[in-house]
Amino acid sequence: MAHRLAALLVLSLAACKPQATATTLRVSMIPTTDPSKAIREMEPLIDYLSNKAGAKVEMTIPTNYAAVVEALVNDQLDVAFLGGFTYVQASKRAGVKPLVQRDRDREFHSKFVTQPGSPIQSLADLKGHSFAFGDVNSTSGHLMPEYFMRQANVDPSVIAKAIYTGGHDATLLAVANGKVDAGALDEAVFQRLTTTAKVDPATVRVFWTTPAFLDYVWVARKGLDAKISGAVANAFLALDDSDPKQKRILEALSAKKYVPAEDASYDKLRQAAEQAGLLW
């Protein structure tokens, strides 16, 4: 909770000093990826990054993907954690540079869920049922599930009539409560919500898991001093779970280790976004 407080304080400070000085690094994380961890256990990461990058880290937790992309376009942010699709948008519009990602982000999956007693056993069974995506801008909650549904020739009206819940958590809740027949969400959020019993695991059933795709990535804005972005990248790459302090950070980020990220690996995702008419 103190971290939420810290985020607020930092936000108001950020408002006073909007321009990065040599010693300030403006960082943002999108909370829709995994809200509770991002917000509650951020302090160690802030301290760690400040230390390694030799700069004061100002962390903002925006609730609006578009605002983050615009902030990167406008040099209002230096480093940001983006979903795969947001990255593709931001690289096109703001020329951001990929830095690092979790090893799991290179092989990410979405879970398709329904109620335990529902007749839905495969993508083909979705015909005639209601379906929920998460935020329209989410890679694992919308873009890739829709892409794989199209690949599998799921009845287009399922996609056309799908609702957007605005978040992975809301999707799972809507399915668990029987508000929609099925939905797709981020595997990491699914895991967290069911293991912490925020959503009763007995109320949902996974009926399909997507093939692997690329998702989340840390990026630097175009024009950020290569020394600073290099230091940030190295800080993440150096995280080691044998150190108890760093282990806490890795756990907060649902990560085991970080690997370098490259733009070329996002070509398939880019193509999927263009096909779905989501990129301009």
Partner 1 sequence: MKRAVLAGAACAALALCVVGAGVRPAFDARALGAFVRGVFPPDLSPPFLQVVGLAVARTLGIAVAGTALSVLGGLPLGILATPSLFRRGPLLAGERPGPLSALLAGTSLAARALLRFLRAVPDLVWALLFVVGFGLGPLPGALALGVSSAGILGRVYADLFEGVPPGPVVALHAAGASRMQVFAAAVWPQAAPSVAAYTLYSFECCVRAAAVLGFVGAGGIGGEINLSMRLFEYGQVLTLLLAFVVLVLLTDTASRRLRGRFQRNAVHGSGLLRGAVEGGVARRTPAVLWLVVAALAFQQAGFLGIAAPGLLGHFGRFARQLFPPDLSTAFLASLVEPLWQTVSISVVGTAIGIGLGGVLALPATATLLLDPRDVPGPVGRAARLLAYSASRLVLALLRSIPELVWVLLCILAVGLGPFAGALALGLHTAGVLGKLYAETLEEVPDGPVEELRAAGATRPQRLLWAMWPQAREMLLGYTLLRWETNLRVSTVVGLVGGGGLGLALYNNVQLGFYPRAATLVLLIYLLVSVTDWLSDRLRKPVASAEAPPASAMELISAASGNPAAP
Residue numbers of the site for partner 1 (CB under 8 A)?
A: 1-2, 4-5, 8-9, 11-12, 14-16, 18-19, 28, 31, 35-36, 39, 60, 62-71, 73-76, 89, 93, 132, 135-137, 163-167, 169-170, 173-174, 177-180, 198, 278, 280
Q: How far is the CB of 260 from partner 1 (least distance, A)?
A: 27
* Amino acid, res. 59: M
Residue 52: CB atoms within 10 A of its CB come to 16
Q: Name the residue nearer to partner 1 (CB basis): 180 or 235.
A: 180
Q: Name the residue nearer to partner 1 (CB basis): 136 or 212.
A: 136
Q: How far is the CB of 128 from partner 1 (least distance, A)?
A: 17
Contacts of 101 (CB under 8 A, 6+ apart): 214, 215, 216, 217, 218, 258, 259, 261
Q: Name the residue nearer to partner 1 (CB basis): 180 or 239.
A: 180
Is the distance from CB of 10 to CB of 59 less than 8 angstroms? yes
Backbone angles phi, psi at 163, to 5 degrees: -100, 155
Three-class DSSP category at 52 = helix
Q: Name the residue nearer to partner 1 (CB basis): 179 or 268.
A: 179
d(CA 233, CA 13) in angstroms, rounded, equals 25
Q: How far is the CB of 12 from partner 1 (least distance, A)?
A: 7
Q: How far is the CB of 219 from partner 1 (least distance, A)?
A: 16
